[in-house]
Amino acid sequence: METHEEAELCFPELLNASCLKPMVSQTEVLVYHILLFTFSPLTVALNLMVILSVAHFRQLQTPTNLLLLSLAVSDFFVGLVLIPGEILRNMTCWFLGDSMCSLYTFLAWWSVSASVGDIVLISVDRYVAICDPLHYTNKVTMKRVKVCICLCWFCSGCYCFGILNDNLTHPGKYHICQGECMISISHVADAVDVVATFILPISAIIALYMSVFVVAVSQARAMRSHITSITAQRSGKAVANKSELKAARSLSVLVVVFLMCFCPYYCVYLAADASFTAAVYFYANFLMCINSCLNPLIYSLFYPWLRKSVKQIFTMQILQPDSRNINIL
């Protein structure tokens, strides 16, 4: 029978109070290291480019781009905090203490929750732009978008604090041994979390984009049949222009990728099958994290302004006087 010494303790000096080091194969260790040193800095760097671009160039500071900026900030923290922390928890012992575990958990949940909220706001923005283009500029103003973003982050923080309150106020309360970083929430809180961060947002996103899709298809048919102006006059509604439709398509890719990355995690989470290994949970969780790395790549594919702004950043042109006002579109 394997002893604690043979299994290697996280803190040998603590003997029975210490956790055992995770039993992972050399292949898993190699994969974890590759994921850590590839996706974490890549996620941070790519989202930092988006943040600098929108924050620096005045021409890019539109309501839609502010929402992308907020999403990039949440994705930035996913790459900076969540990905390294998840790999650290699964690859080795937690050596940072109970307080840092609670802080890490709160920041990780907050960044993911804010990211989900940003995706919902982006869906609402595209819904108004395509389905009610006549009143878009009046309804979606810079001030209102800033207020919505602040509310999104504030509500996400309050929500996460409420769910994790016991873990934050009593760090390490539910730890069985030294060297682990785990949280414990009630079944009620668990159910609320699934509804609040998965079922409701996914339902809202799908409903909004279904409406956008129907309207976009009808408008495309109208434009092809050269009756756009007649339709607009008869209905009294404006028709979304080509750039808005293109933006809707590109942001719909963003939403589809979001669903593809988040759904496996929640499916595994809800199934809670005993036959699932720790690796299954890890890779499902990591797939959710990868979404934060894919978002800026989607921007670069569909938005030429991001490629131009990144070039300006790397060539240090942003340090030139009046660089904020250059034509970047």
Mean pLDDT of 21-27: 68
pLDDT above 90 (res 35):
no
pLDDT of residue 4: 42
pLDDT of residue 238: 46
What pTM did the predictor assign? Answer: 0.82
Burial per residue of 45-67, b for 16 or more beta-carbon CB atoms within 10 angstroms, e otherwise: ebbbbbbbbbebbeebeebbbbb
pLDDT of residue 245: 57
pLDDT above 60 (res 226):
no
pLDDT above 80 (res 31):
no
Query: Closest Cα to residue 125, out of 267, 244, 272?
Result: 244
pLDDT above 60 (res 177):
yes
Angle at the Cα of 257 (from 33 to 63), degrees rounded to 5? 110
CA distances from 316 to 100, 320, 321 (A): 37, 8, 11
Domain 24-169+184-325 top-level CATH class: mainly alpha
Average pLDDT over the chain reads 79
Out of 7-21, 234-248, 261-275, least confident range: 234-248
Angle at the Cα of 147 (from 144 to 150), degrees rounded to 5? 150
Q: Are 49 and 93 in contact (CB under 8 A)?
A: no
Band of residue 211 on the pLDDT scale cut at 50, 70, 90: confident
pLDDT of residue 45: 92
Distance, CA of 197 to CA of 113 (rounded, Å): 7
Mean pLDDT of 226-241: 49
Distance, CA of 217 to CA of 214 (rounded, Å): 5
Distance, CA of 82 to CA of 68 (rounded, Å): 20
Query: Mind listing the pLDDT tens digit for each residue in 74-93?
Result: 999 998 988 888 777 766 77
Beta strands in the chain (DSSP E): none
- Does 273 or 192 have the greater pLDDT score? 192
User: Whose structure tokens read 């995706």?
Assistant: 119
Band of residue 277 on the pLDDT scale cut at 50, 70, 90: low
Percent of the chain exceeding pLDDT 70 equals 81
Distance, CA of 115 to CA of 138 (rounded, Å): 26
**Length of the chain (residues):** 329
pLDDT above 70 (res 247):
no
pLDDT of residue 37: 80
Secondary structure percentages of the chain, helix, strand, coil, to 5:
80, 0, 20
Which three-class secondary structure string do you get for 111-160? HHHHHHHHHHHHHHHHHHHHHCHHHHHHHCCHHHHHHHHHHHHHHHHHHH
pLDDT of residue 219: 64
- Ordered by start, the domain boundaries in the chain are 24-169+184-325
Range 291-294 contact pairs with CB under 8 angstroms and sequence separation of 24 or more: 291/75, 291/115, 291/257, 291/258, 291/261, 291/262, 292/43, 292/47, 292/74, 292/75, 292/76, 292/78, 292/79, 292/82, 292/115, 293/39, 293/42, 293/43, 293/46, 293/75, 293/79, 294/257, 294/261
User: Whose structure tokens read 């500071």?
Assistant: 61
- Does 237 or 24 have the greater pLDDT score? 24
